Amino acid sequence: MSQAPPTLSGGVADAARPRSARPAYEALRVFVRNPGALIGVLLLAAILALVLFGPLVMQADPFEIASAPMEPPGGDLLLGSDYLGRDVLTGLIHGGRATLLVGVVAAVLSMAIGITVGALAGYYGGWVDETLMRITEFFQVLPALLFAMVLVTLFSPSLTTIAVAIGVVSWTGTARLARGEFLSLKQREYVLAERVIGSSNARIIWRVILPNALAPLIVSATLAIGTAILFEAGLSFLGLGDPNVMSWGLMIGSNRPYILTAWWAVTLPGAAIFVTVLAVSLIGDGLNDALNPKLASKRRA
């Protein structure tokens, strides 16, 4: 009996440690040595600076008619005008806010649902696991884009409904990932020690196991942002975006009939989406290397 307290205290102390034995600065060192990750950070920083501070400099209304329709780049307007005569540059700057906002909010909602479902399924097992995984499989086999279109149509297109619809249809992968992590971690000694000292299930799930399962979930979150941005662009392209808020997807969708005569009005917002998703993906890849030392060592080998 005299040996029990040290074992318990050591186990509980381990709960606060990350899964990897490497300290945080080691993960940061691996991340900053990844050229792709640094390129992603620089690209994303430039995009965020443009969409956050650009409207303070260019305060024009993105829906305002600024010139003749389909004026090519290089004239009075730096990036030309669309089929209605709206400034493409103003649309890119203001539209980026809506696109990124929907992407981040949808990704947060997707991660919240997925982590909750996966954590409960992996921790409790049994009938809870079976029930939640059957629900997950139901959502997984649904056509995600079609289901999102139905939700947006039912509740009218707006930034809120679009973000919620994307989050509701894109959480299944995160749920399976979280379930796998919890199944692996719930039998660790520090978790068993928490049970011995009488910790509640809620504390064990959210304050003991989850912090140690965050590494792959953080990577998943970065990729979820890119997926949500593409989803928003797809919905707007199909005419299901908020018509009162400028976004990159709305710019592409409204100008697509004129792509042969005003290619810049479609290509430039498409390029903005591509670069943003690429930057997020590069950051996610860098985080994966930094937080997963086994994968990083394999790549170096």
**196-213 pLDDT, tens digit each:** 888 888 888 888 888 888
pLDDT bin (cut points 50, 70, 90) of residue 293 is: low
Structure confidence at residue 298 as a pLDDT band (50, 70, 90): low
- Going by pLDDT thresholds of 50, 70 and 90, the confidence category of residue 7 is very low
How much is the pLDDT for 113?
94
Query: Closest Cα partner for 76 from 90, 87, 84?
Result: 87
Domains of the chain from N-terminus onward: 34-58+75-292 (1.10.3720.10)
- 283 pLDDT above the threshold of 50: yes
**Residue 291 and residue 215 in contact, taking contact as beta carbons nearer than 8 Å:** yes
* DSSP labels, 100-127: HHHHHHHHHHHHHHHHHHHHHHHHH-HH
What's the rounded mean pLDDT across residues 106-123? Answer: 92
For residue 11, pLDDT beyond 70: no
Q: What per-residue confidence (pLDDT) applies to 193? A: 87
Count each helix (H run) and each strand (E run) in the chain, helices first.
Answer: 15, 0
pLDDT at 300 over 60: no
Confidence check: pLDDT of 124 > 80: yes
Task: Considering only residues 297 and 177, tell me which one the structure prediction assigns the higher pLDDT.
Answer: 177
At residue 294 the predicted structure's pLDDT band, cuts being 50, 70 and 90, is low
Average pLDDT, the chain: 83
- The predicted-structure confidence for 137-156, as pLDDT tens digits, reads as follows 998 888 888 888 888 888 87
Residue 295 confidence class, pLDDT cut points 50, 70, 90: low
Give the residue-averaged pLDDT of 269-291.
89
